[in-house]
Amino acid sequence: MSEIKTVEVNGITLAYKEFGTGDKYLLSTQNFFLSGCHEELLGKAPYDYHVFVVYMRGYGKSTHIFDPTPRDYSKVWGEDLIAFAEKMGIKSFYYTGVSHGNFAGWYIAFNRPELIRAFVSCDGIVQFRKQDGNSIKPQIPDPDTFVGNREALEKMSWMENWPTNNPERLKKRAENHAEHTEILMERKREEFEVFNSNFMACDVNSEEELYDKMKKIPFPVLIWIGGLDPLATAEKALEVAQVIPGASLLTYQHLGHGGADECPEIAARDCDRFFKDTEGRIL
């Protein structure tokens, strides 16, 4: 990947990498990006997007968060990305992410939809989570047991176990696992305390209210998932796609959660096809 740059927005530092040129912008924000991820590929030939991958506040070379109090991180990351776009003079952009990397996209969809031209949500959907004292728990009980502990981190780093004999997929799995382990090995204690496993940006009290918000999304949305994903199930993804006006659903039966990182060439191709197809689309 290209070099990491930084910019000051919202009173903090955000780290990012840039691929491509021009005004056909594509943005994504996650806590890590694997080498050769589909966002990176979209910033290179044969695609023609100007891509910015932004490291979320709390991780890497972006400003860290030292207060572990649970908060609406999708709002934090969404507002950070909005400020990033404004800082870069980007008036509208395509968005795509993997798993937690979709949080900011959904936040912007509900709060600043005019900024997004089209959205491909890979390996994740927006789901209602009731917020109460029992639903907010530390992501990792004792971060000190993980910091610099290679044996422990290898067990929690990127891993896909879905059946395959395809040598290219098996090779990519090994590469992703090794790279993510090294990313985790470099993390500080406070990075393990950022609670990012729940979607908390809807400001709703029921699934019905959430679906009412989704019905108002004015731009094209593609839900891209693996049929074996236990987190964003095919059944739930279909339910979400049926609510969003003009939404599309693309399911790969042989992939699970993290399929876009296991097969980034497929994800990049599908994003490009969808984004091109959205030009002039009537929802």
| Overall pTM surpassing 0.75 (yes/no) | yes
pLDDT tens digits along 1-21? 579 999 999 999 999 999 999
Mind listing the pLDDT tens digit for each residue in 158-175? 988 888 899 999 999 999
Average pLDDT over residues 69-83: 91
Around Cβ 101, how many Cβ atoms within 10 Å?
A: 27
Condensed to tens digits (0 to 9), the pLDDT of residues 199-256 reads: 545 577 788 889 999 999 999 999 999 999 998 999 999 999 999 999 999 999 999 9
Domain ranges of the chain: 5-277
Tell me which of 28-37, 131-140, 145-154, 159-168 is least confident. 131-140
Chain mean pLDDT for the chain: 91
Output the CA–CA distances (angstroms, integers) from residue 31 to 54, 90, 230, 254, 264, in the order listed. Answer: 8, 22, 21, 26, 17
Q: What is the pLDDT of residue 135?
A: 46
- Does domain 5-277 match CATH 3.40.50.1820? yes
55 pLDDT higher than 80? yes
pLDDT band at 197 (very low <50, low <70, confident <90, very high): low
215 in Cβ contact with 242 (< 8 Å)? no
Kindly tell me the burial class for residue 104, based on how many C-beta atoms sit within 10 Å of its own C-beta (0-12, 13-18, 19 or more): buried
